[in-house]
Chain A
Amino acid sequence: MEDTSPNEIATPATAEVPTDAAQRISVANSKPEITPDGDTDQLKITMGDFEGPLDLLLYLIRQEQVNIYDIPIARITDEYLRYLNLMQELDLTVAGDFLVMAAQLIELKSRMLLPRDPSEVEEELLDPRAELVNRLLEHEKFKAAAEMLWSRATVERAVFKRAEIETDKNNPEVAVGLFDLLRVFQEILARQKEEILLEIEREEVSMAEMIDRLRNMVRSAGEMNLTTFFERAKSRRELVAAFLSVLELVRMSEISLVQSETFGAIMARPASPSAESA
């Protein structure tokens, strides 16, 4: 329902459509109408782009080619109501504004039909349509004004201005003075000082220390599960040192490794007494 593009030109195929629906709903012999949408079975609704009841009335007056100062109210009212029926038939929500206008038109039509009271004073002999005509003319003027604004804006959109210059004002990042910089620098220094105070010294174990530790442990215990030894390592670094110290002591024949079963615990023992003494 939304694609009600205005000024849609009916395709020649329209005439060949045998549906009486197309005839029934056509208003003022032209727009709006339903046309088959290309080769699909879908029907396309083509309607005027009406902004409200005044717009619709103006459209109908234009369509019927009648004088706006002498509107044939009966004819226009019929067309107007036909249009509202069409909208309802198409399940379009008819805005309250349209219904108000319908009521006003019907009232106007009935007043036009009534014979004038000959005793009426001259002043009251005003054309009952005058108010509506004035509203329509006023509305049309503003429609024209809107068109004027549209073309002005179109021209204006083709004119380009210099892009914004980057200044201190619109770039807060550089809107600082030397003292701001100093203050921030001081904050950073203070933060760094705190970090130094909080820093925990890493416990570094050298290879020599690790070798000593392993040697002492094996000597004092006589036999030690290597898993226990490795588990004592507090860091990856220490673990590597521990592993290397095992290799080193084996190479120096200070310890020997014994594994009683496949995938079993590996035990470290002091090597032969001769090596130990060496």
Chain B
Amino acid sequence: MSKAAKATDVETAEVEESSSNDEIEGQREIGEAELKAIAEAMIFVADEPVSAKTIADVIKVDREAIDKVLVELVAEYDGRNGGLQLREIAAGWQIATRPEHHEQIRAYLKSRPSAKLSLASLETLAVIAYKQPVTVPEILEIRGVQSPSAIKTLLDKRLIVAKGRKETVGRPMMYGTSKEFLIQFGLKDLSELPSIEDFQDLAGGSDS
């Protein structure tokens, strides 16, 4: 700041900047190509999926403009057949590797596949995902078996979160899925889950 006060040309630049903040109309027009580049760079540095709204707010452009360049970016990534994909996950955007190359990537990272959830935990998670917010007794009703350890595992892995208490006898805790759930299962949002009724045919027509 003190430097800017000394140098006149920097000072004028600052004045211009502050005035442009006041009236958005006076802002320098950002071309679509540049917008695309900025959005891509932002998604690259983000630790977790970054929403189109966040990008739009930072660049101070319309949300629609960001949506448009994101669609183009996805096409570019897919068209290039490169090692990376730009994808929508947990209500945000993320740059990630493609699953096809997991063996080599894993070898490079020297990482082992993370521990899988047990069948009990997965079933409990499925009930919570489809019935949320849901209480422990309601989960028991569907699964026909107590699942305290599964609930604990899911809480520990931050896949589910407490969603307040149900105003009924005993005020049991209600559970729902978390953002981490969306990320770990590669979902944009909960609506991307196939409808539970779609599993009906599978269940009914199992005896052949």
Residues of A within 8 A of B (CB): 49, 51-55, 61-62, 65-69, 95, 97, 101, 135, 137-150, 152-153, 155-162, 164-165
Known contacts A101-B144, A142-B199, A164-B47; 11 additional CB pairs below 8 A are A49-B119, A55-B145, A67-B207, A68-B207, A137-B204, A139-B142, A144-B202, A156-B185, A158-B100, A159-B85, A159-B102
Asked if B145 and A95 sit within 8 Å, CB to CB, the answer is yes
Asked if B120 and A51 sit within 8 Å, CB to CB, the answer is yes
CA distance in complex: A152, B129 (Å): 14
CA distance in complex: A49, B26 (Å): 68
Asked if A52 and B200 sit within 8 Å, CB to CB, the answer is no
B interface majority secondary structure: helix
Known: A53-B145, A101-B144, A157-B114. A146 touches B109 (CB 8 A): no
CA distance in complex: A55, B145 (Å): 9
CA distance in complex: A143, B123 (Å): 6
- Residues of A within 8 Å of B105, CB to CB, are 160
Asked if B96 and A160 sit within 8 Å, CB to CB, the answer is yes
Asked if B185 and A142 sit within 8 Å, CB to CB, the answer is no
Known: A53-B145, A141-B196. A158 touches B203 (CB 8 A): no
Asked if B199 and A144 sit within 8 Å, CB to CB, the answer is yes
Q: Shortest distance in angstroms between A220's beta carbon and chain B's nearest beta carbon?
A: 76
Asked if A62 and B143 sit within 8 Å, CB to CB, the answer is no
19 example contacts (A-B, Cβ-Cβ < 8 A) are as follows: A49-B119, A51-B123, A54-B143, A55-B144, A68-B206, A101-B144, A135-B142, A137-B203, A139-B144, A140-B202, A141-B200, A142-B123, A142-B143, A152-B186, A156-B185, A157-B114, A158-B99, A160-B102, A161-B96
Asked if B116 and A52 sit within 8 Å, CB to CB, the answer is no
Q: Among the interface residues B100, B119, B200, which one has the most CB atoms of the partner chain A within 10 A?
A: B119
Q: Among the interface residues B85, B100, B197, B199, which one has the most CB atoms of the partner chain A within 10 A?
A: B199
Q: Shortest distance in angstroms between A64's beta carbon and chain B's nearest beta carbon?
A: 9
Asked if B143 and A165 sit within 8 Å, CB to CB, the answer is no
Q: Among the interface residues A51, A54, A137, A145, which one has the most CB atoms of the partner chain B within 10 A?
A: A145
| Binary contact readout B4-40 vs A (1 if CB under 8 angstroms, 0 otherwise) | 0000000000000000000000000000000000000
Q: Which residue of B lies closest to A65 (CB)?
A: B207
Asked if A51 and B206 sit within 8 Å, CB to CB, the answer is no
Asked if A135 and B144 sit within 8 Å, CB to CB, the answer is yes
Asked if B94 and A161 sit within 8 Å, CB to CB, the answer is yes
Asked if B122 and A149 sit within 8 Å, CB to CB, the answer is yes
Known: A145-B196, A153-B184. A52 touches B206 (CB 8 A): no
- Residues of A within 8 Å of B203, CB to CB, are 68, 137, 140-141, 143-144
Q: Shortest distance in angstroms between A145's beta carbon and chain B's nearest beta carbon?
A: 4
Q: Which residue of A lies closest to B95 (CB)?
A: A162
Q: Which residue of A lies closest to B130 (CB)?
A: A145
- Residues of A within 8 Å of B79, CB to CB, are none
CA distance in complex: A155, B100 (Å): 9
- Residues of B within 8 Å of A55, CB to CB, are 144-145
Known: A139-B144, A149-B185. A66 touches B98 (CB 8 A): no
B151 at the interface (CB under 8 A from A): no
Contact for A165 among B45, B94, B196, CB less than 8 A? B45
Q: Which residue of B lies closest to A6 (CB)?
A: B119
B125 at the interface (CB under 8 A from A): yes
Query: 8 Å CB contacts to A: which residues of B165-195?
Result: 184-187, 194
B146 at the interface (CB under 8 A from A): yes
Asked if A148 and B194 sit within 8 Å, CB to CB, the answer is yes
Q: Which residue of B lies closest to A67 (CB)?
A: B207
